Structure formats: structure tokens, C-alpha cells
Amino acid sequence: MITVLAGGVGAARLLAGIVQVVPPAEVTAVVNTGDDVVMHGLHISPDLDTVTYTLAGADNPETGWGLAGETWQAMGSLGRYGGETWFNLGDVDLGTHLYRTGNLAAGVGLAEITAGISSGWGLEPTLLPMTEDRVATMMTLADGSGGGSDEVGFQEYFVRLRHAVPVSSVRFAGAESSLPGPGVLDAIGGADVVVVAPSNPIVSIGPLLAVPGIADAIRARRDRTVAVSPIIAGAALKGPADRLMRELGHEASVVGVARIYRDIASCLVIDSADADLAGAVETEGMACVVTDTVMSSPEVAAELARTVLGAAS
């Protein structure tokens, strides 16, 4: 059994690699819900959806979010009224949010809803929300850059502000009183390998570790936990991980990633571009494996998955 701590795009690609090299039904993803957002009354779980759509082969590889062949009729209509359209919701994608929102309103838990969505796409891996409670990743913007409001929700930072503003702190509102989602602790405790996906350590993996009980469960499996660095040659492939790490006092390098993960993972997989830093990673107390981590094709993703799972043996 393989359990993957997952954010969005990077995690989804690694998961797509993993299900090529182990039986998909033996794979569980524990997915970040800290960047879930209610827009226009709909409950949107961007990371869960990115993982779902990617595993279904229905993702849009050009954007890194949403569905291939998506249409945008509803957004066009919303725009006609001057509604807020900065968070793009495709028509097919909307069906997912309608299903989730209606069921939440009817008292169904997010884990069961997520299973329903996953089943709708015929997925074999198990997708688990990190929690069924409301945890909201909140970003405090450095002086004035928020245009009045100091603290904004993750999607406002990430999408509306295009993560082009400096951040002075991050918190996970509600995390302290949240419970791990159904099946999460068992999936970690019972896994042969726990993988920390190459997701943003601050705002994708950070929320998972902030849910009481999850970090402890992983720490107890530290010898079977392998992290994949999302930082390659000092930069994130996509998104603001490198800037966020710097802004929050971390080194934006595989060594900085090692310092964040060394308590929960015994091994860090880094890209060949960072081969010269393998020794520095080991100095932080982690084994280090060097390989190609840029998942530019399903073949590379499968090869990376093989290396990651092998690194735990």
C-alpha cells in the first residue's frame, strides 16, 4: 500500500506515475483541502479536483487545472452581470462543484462525496480529503500589497493576485480544531511507503501537517517516508513555492526543502540539476536520491515513481 500526501498539479502527475508502476487500487492520496473555497455558494476543492481529473486522464495539461475540452458558458453568463469571474469555473467542472455542494448541504461528508466523484470517473486509487473540517489557508500580504486587506484566502492570493505579491505569513485557520479525514491516519499508518509529493511545502503539504495527528502519524513512519523536492535548481517548476519559501525565511533550495521535511521523511528525492547539493541534503539528516524529477511525460513520471518507491526500500 502506497500513501501519497498530495497538493495539486505536481502531486497529480506523480500519482499518475505511481499508478503505472503499482496496482492503482493499492494507492491512496491524502489531499490538501486548505485551499478549498466557497465561490458563488459552491464548495470548490481545487486540489482534490486536480488529482481526480489528472488520474482520470481528463485534465488540461496546458493550464495545469481544469478539464481538457472544457467550455465556459456559465462564466460568460456571470460576466454579463459583472459577477466575479477571476476564479474560472468551466461548465463540466461546475457539475463537480454542484455535486459536492448539494451533498455537503444534505449532510454527506467530504470523504464520501470525494469517493462518489472518484467513482464517477472510474478511478481505482483512493482519494481522501485531509480533513472533513473547514481548514482555510490564509496568506498575510506584506505591507500594502493586498490593496487594503492584509490577509487573504489562498485562492485570492493564488488566482486573483496571481501570487505576484509578497507574503509575510501563512496560517491554516481552523486547523487546530480539525480532525484527520476518515481513513487518513490508517492510510498513513498502514502504508508500505508514504510519499510526500512534489507539492508546495508551505501551502500544499503545510495544511496537511497542520491537521492534528497527521504529522505525528507520518513521523511514526519516517523510515518509510520519501519526499520529492518541488524545488529544482532553486526554483519551483510552477507556482510560488520558491518565493514563498524565501519570504517565510526558508532557503529556496533542496536543502531548504530537506530542513522542512527531515522530521517526517527519511529520504529526499532531488532533481539531477541539484546533484551537487546531495551531500548538503544528507547533512540535514536525510538520505538523498538524485534523478530526473521534471515529469514532462507519463514515462518520466512512471520512472520517477519507481525511483521514489524504491528509495523507501
Residues that bind its own copies in the complex, under the rule CB under 8 A: 38-43, 71, 73-84, 89-96, 98-99, 101-105, 116-117, 119-121
Nearer to its own copies, 97 or 163 (CB): 97
Nearer to its own copies, 80 or 143 (CB): 80
Nearest distance, CB of residue 155 and its own copies, angstroms? 14
Residue type, 133: D
State the angle between helix axes of 46-55 and 91-105 in degrees (0 to 180), rounded to the nearest 10: 120
Residue type, 57: G
Burial 39-50 (b: 16+ CB within 10 A, else e): eeebbbbbbbbb
Nearer to its own copies, 71 or 283 (CB): 71
Nearer to its own copies, 74 or 280 (CB): 74
Residue type, 179: L
Nearer to its own copies, 122 or 144 (CB): 122
Nearest distance, CB of residue 208 and its own copies, angstroms? 25
Nearest distance, CB of residue 100 and its own copies, angstroms? 9
d(CA 274, CA 186): 34
Nearest distance, CB of residue 37 and its own copies, angstroms? 12
Nearest distance, CB of residue 135 and its own copies, angstroms? 20
Contact by Cβ (8 Å): 45, 32: no
Contact by Cβ (8 Å): 6, 15: yes
d(CA 290, CA 197): 15
